[in-house]
Amino acid sequence: MSGPRAAAEFDFPLSRIAGLDEAGRGPLAGPVSAAAVILPEDFPLEVLDDSKKLTAAHREAAALLIMERAAWGIGWAEASEIDRINILQASLLAMSRAWDALAGAFPRYDPARGAGGKPEPADLYAVADGLYCPRLPIPCRAMVKADARIPPVMAASILAKTARDKMMIRYALFYPEYGYEKHKGYPTRAHLEAVARQGPSPIQRLSFTVRPPRGKPEFTGPPAS
Protein backbone atom coordinates (compact mmCIF):
# COMPACT_ATOMS: atom_id res chain seq x y z
CA MET A 1 0.00 0.00 0.00
CA SER A 2 1.36 3.42 -0.89
CA GLY A 3 0.44 6.91 -1.96
CA PRO A 4 -3.28 7.76 -2.10
CA ARG A 5 -4.39 4.31 -0.92
CA ALA A 6 -2.26 4.58 2.22
CA ALA A 7 -3.62 8.04 2.97
CA ALA A 8 -7.19 6.95 2.33
CA GLU A 9 -6.92 4.38 5.11
CA PHE A 10 -6.66 7.28 7.56
CA ASP A 11 -8.86 9.88 5.81
CA PHE A 12 -5.79 12.12 5.86
CA PRO A 13 -3.72 13.52 2.98
CA LEU A 14 -0.39 11.74 2.82
CA SER A 15 1.39 15.01 3.55
CA ARG A 16 -0.38 15.23 6.93
CA ILE A 17 0.80 11.83 8.15
CA ALA A 18 3.88 11.73 10.38
CA GLY A 19 5.54 8.34 10.03
CA LEU A 20 7.61 6.94 12.90
CA ASP A 21 9.92 3.94 13.05
CA GLU A 22 12.95 2.73 14.98
CA ALA A 23 16.15 0.86 14.21
CA GLY A 24 18.41 -1.15 16.47
CA ARG A 25 16.21 -3.14 18.83
CA GLY A 26 18.18 -6.35 18.28
CA PRO A 27 21.85 -5.33 18.74
CA LEU A 28 23.82 -6.11 21.87
CA ALA A 29 25.50 -2.70 21.89
CA GLY A 30 24.83 0.90 21.02
CA PRO A 31 21.72 3.08 21.04
CA VAL A 32 18.32 2.53 19.49
CA SER A 33 17.45 5.20 16.95
CA ALA A 34 14.11 6.45 15.63
CA ALA A 35 12.94 8.82 12.96
CA ALA A 36 9.80 10.83 12.31
CA VAL A 37 9.03 11.97 8.76
CA ILE A 38 6.38 14.00 6.92
CA LEU A 39 6.61 13.70 3.15
CA PRO A 40 5.66 16.48 0.72
CA GLU A 41 2.89 15.88 -1.82
CA ASP A 42 5.31 15.49 -4.72
CA PHE A 43 7.80 13.15 -3.05
CA PRO A 44 8.88 10.29 -5.39
CA LEU A 45 7.41 7.35 -3.51
CA GLU A 46 9.09 4.81 -5.78
CA VAL A 47 12.40 5.30 -3.92
CA LEU A 48 10.84 4.10 -0.65
CA ASP A 49 10.50 0.64 0.88
CA ASP A 50 11.09 -1.08 4.19
CA SER A 51 14.72 -0.20 4.94
CA LYS A 52 15.54 -3.88 5.57
CA LYS A 53 14.67 -4.68 1.95
CA LEU A 54 16.98 -2.03 0.46
CA THR A 55 20.68 -2.21 -0.28
CA ALA A 56 22.95 0.09 1.70
CA ALA A 57 23.52 2.23 -1.39
CA HIS A 58 19.78 2.55 -2.04
CA ARG A 59 19.14 3.46 1.61
CA GLU A 60 21.79 6.17 1.52
CA ALA A 61 20.43 7.67 -1.70
CA ALA A 62 16.86 7.59 -0.38
CA ALA A 63 17.96 9.10 2.96
CA LEU A 64 19.59 12.05 1.19
CA LEU A 65 16.42 12.69 -0.78
CA ILE A 66 14.24 12.45 2.33
CA MET A 67 16.45 14.89 4.24
CA GLU A 68 16.41 17.30 1.31
CA ARG A 69 12.70 17.18 0.48
CA ALA A 70 10.81 16.19 3.65
CA ALA A 71 10.36 17.35 7.23
CA TRP A 72 12.16 14.94 9.53
CA GLY A 73 13.66 14.39 12.96
CA ILE A 74 15.94 11.78 14.55
CA GLY A 75 15.73 10.60 18.15
CA TRP A 76 17.92 8.34 20.27
CA ALA A 77 17.87 6.27 23.43
CA GLU A 78 21.29 5.27 24.71
CA ALA A 79 22.39 1.83 25.90
CA SER A 80 22.20 2.97 29.53
CA GLU A 81 18.57 4.01 29.02
CA ILE A 82 17.79 0.68 27.36
CA ASP A 83 19.22 -1.10 30.41
CA ARG A 84 17.19 1.07 32.77
CA ILE A 85 13.74 1.02 31.11
CA ASN A 86 13.98 -1.96 28.65
CA ILE A 87 14.27 -1.97 24.87
CA LEU A 88 10.56 -1.52 24.13
CA GLN A 89 10.22 1.57 26.30
CA ALA A 90 13.54 2.92 25.00
CA SER A 91 12.33 2.48 21.41
CA LEU A 92 9.15 4.42 22.20
CA LEU A 93 11.22 7.09 23.96
CA ALA A 94 13.42 7.44 20.87
CA MET A 95 10.28 7.86 18.75
CA SER A 96 9.01 10.60 21.06
CA ARG A 97 12.36 12.36 20.78
CA ALA A 98 12.25 11.99 16.99
CA TRP A 99 8.85 13.70 17.01
CA ASP A 100 10.27 16.53 19.11
CA ALA A 101 13.07 16.97 16.56
CA LEU A 102 10.57 16.90 13.71
CA ALA A 103 8.39 19.50 15.40
CA GLY A 104 11.36 21.83 15.36
CA ALA A 105 11.28 21.70 11.54
CA PHE A 106 7.71 23.00 11.26
CA PRO A 107 8.61 26.70 10.87
CA ARG A 108 10.54 25.92 7.69
CA TYR A 109 8.36 23.21 6.15
CA ASP A 110 5.34 23.27 3.83
CA PRO A 111 3.99 19.79 2.95
CA ALA A 112 2.94 20.99 -0.50
CA ARG A 113 6.25 22.63 -1.41
CA GLY A 114 8.93 21.39 0.96
CA ALA A 115 10.65 24.32 2.67
CA GLY A 116 8.86 27.54 3.43
CA GLY A 117 5.66 27.12 5.44
CA LYS A 118 4.34 25.78 8.73
CA PRO A 119 1.98 22.81 9.20
CA GLU A 120 0.30 22.85 12.59
CA PRO A 121 0.51 19.78 14.86
CA ALA A 122 -3.29 19.84 15.13
CA ASP A 123 -3.45 19.05 11.41
CA LEU A 124 -1.23 15.95 11.69
CA TYR A 125 -1.80 12.28 12.41
CA ALA A 126 1.01 9.89 13.36
CA VAL A 127 1.51 6.28 12.31
CA ALA A 128 4.07 4.26 14.26
CA ASP A 129 5.47 0.96 13.09
CA GLY A 130 4.78 -1.88 15.51
CA LEU A 131 2.27 -2.66 18.23
CA TYR A 132 2.57 0.47 20.36
CA CYS A 133 2.51 4.22 19.95
CA PRO A 134 4.97 6.56 21.64
CA ARG A 135 3.75 9.43 23.76
CA LEU A 136 2.91 12.23 21.31
CA PRO A 137 0.85 15.44 21.34
CA ILE A 138 -1.09 14.30 18.23
CA PRO A 139 -3.30 11.28 17.46
CA CYS A 140 -1.28 8.17 16.72
CA ARG A 141 -2.02 4.72 15.32
CA ALA A 142 0.31 1.75 15.77
CA MET A 143 0.47 -0.56 12.77
CA VAL A 144 2.45 -3.77 12.34
CA LYS A 145 4.48 -3.74 9.11
CA ALA A 146 3.73 -0.07 8.53
CA ASP A 147 7.33 0.24 7.36
CA ALA A 148 6.34 -1.83 4.31
CA ARG A 149 2.93 -0.17 3.75
CA ILE A 150 2.87 3.51 4.64
CA PRO A 151 5.29 5.81 2.75
CA PRO A 152 6.19 8.21 5.59
CA VAL A 153 6.89 5.21 7.85
CA MET A 154 9.06 3.68 5.11
CA ALA A 155 10.94 6.97 5.01
CA ALA A 156 11.30 6.95 8.80
CA SER A 157 12.65 3.39 8.71
CA ILE A 158 15.29 4.47 6.18
CA LEU A 159 16.41 7.50 8.19
CA ALA A 160 16.51 5.57 11.46
CA LYS A 161 18.58 2.78 9.92
CA THR A 162 21.08 5.01 8.11
CA ALA A 163 21.51 7.28 11.14
CA ARG A 164 22.21 4.36 13.46
CA ASP A 165 24.64 2.73 11.04
CA LYS A 166 26.62 5.98 10.85
CA MET A 167 26.62 6.27 14.63
CA MET A 168 28.01 2.75 15.05
CA ILE A 169 30.73 3.49 12.50
CA ARG A 170 31.71 6.50 14.62
CA TYR A 171 31.75 4.35 17.76
CA ALA A 172 34.15 2.02 15.97
CA LEU A 173 36.72 4.82 15.95
CA PHE A 174 36.66 4.86 19.75
CA TYR A 175 36.36 1.09 20.27
CA PRO A 176 38.06 -0.48 17.22
CA GLU A 177 38.56 -3.84 18.94
CA TYR A 178 34.81 -4.57 18.73
CA GLY A 179 34.37 -4.15 14.98
CA TYR A 180 31.23 -2.01 15.21
CA GLU A 181 31.77 -0.64 11.71
CA LYS A 182 31.06 -4.13 10.36
CA HIS A 183 28.25 -5.61 12.44
CA LYS A 184 26.75 -2.41 13.94
CA GLY A 185 26.40 -4.11 17.33
CA TYR A 186 24.31 -7.07 16.12
CA PRO A 187 25.14 -10.52 17.57
CA THR A 188 27.41 -11.80 14.82
CA ARG A 189 30.08 -14.36 15.59
CA ALA A 190 32.79 -11.69 15.31
CA HIS A 191 30.97 -9.47 17.80
CA LEU A 192 30.38 -12.31 20.25
CA GLU A 193 34.04 -13.30 20.08
CA ALA A 194 35.12 -9.69 20.67
CA VAL A 195 32.94 -9.44 23.78
CA ALA A 196 34.24 -12.80 25.04
CA ARG A 197 37.81 -11.59 24.47
CA GLN A 198 37.54 -7.96 25.62
CA GLY A 199 34.57 -7.96 27.97
CA PRO A 200 31.69 -5.49 27.55
CA SER A 201 32.40 -2.20 25.80
CA PRO A 202 31.28 1.16 27.24
CA ILE A 203 28.25 1.06 24.90
CA GLN A 204 27.29 -2.54 25.70
CA ARG A 205 23.66 -3.19 26.60
CA LEU A 206 24.34 -4.84 29.94
CA SER A 207 20.75 -6.06 30.29
CA PHE A 208 21.14 -8.18 27.13
CA THR A 209 22.55 -11.69 27.46
CA VAL A 210 25.57 -12.29 25.26
CA ARG A 211 26.01 -15.93 24.32
CA PRO A 212 29.56 -16.24 22.97
CA PRO A 213 30.86 -18.99 20.69
CA ARG A 214 31.16 -22.48 22.20
CA GLY A 215 33.92 -22.80 24.72
CA LYS A 216 33.88 -19.14 25.76
CA PRO A 217 32.48 -17.81 29.05
CA GLU A 218 29.01 -16.29 28.89
CA PHE A 219 28.52 -12.60 29.64
CA THR A 220 25.17 -11.64 31.14
CA GLY A 221 25.97 -8.23 32.58
CA PRO A 222 28.11 -6.84 35.40
CA PRO A 223 28.45 -8.70 38.70
CA ALA A 224 26.02 -7.72 41.42
CA SER A 225 27.40 -5.04 43.70
Q: Which pTM was predicted?
A: 0.86
Span 131-147, average pLDDT: 95
For 3-167, CATH gives 3.30.420.10
Rounded to whole angstroms, the Cα distance separating 32 from 108 reads 27
Q: What is the pLDDT of residues 16-51, one digit of tens each?
A: 899 999 999 999 999 999 999 999 989 999 999 888
Q: What is the pLDDT of residues 56-83, one digit of tens each?
A: 999 999 999 999 999 999 999 999 999 9
- The residues spanned by each domain of the chain are 3-167
> Vertex 131, ends 146 and 18: CA angle to 5°?
45
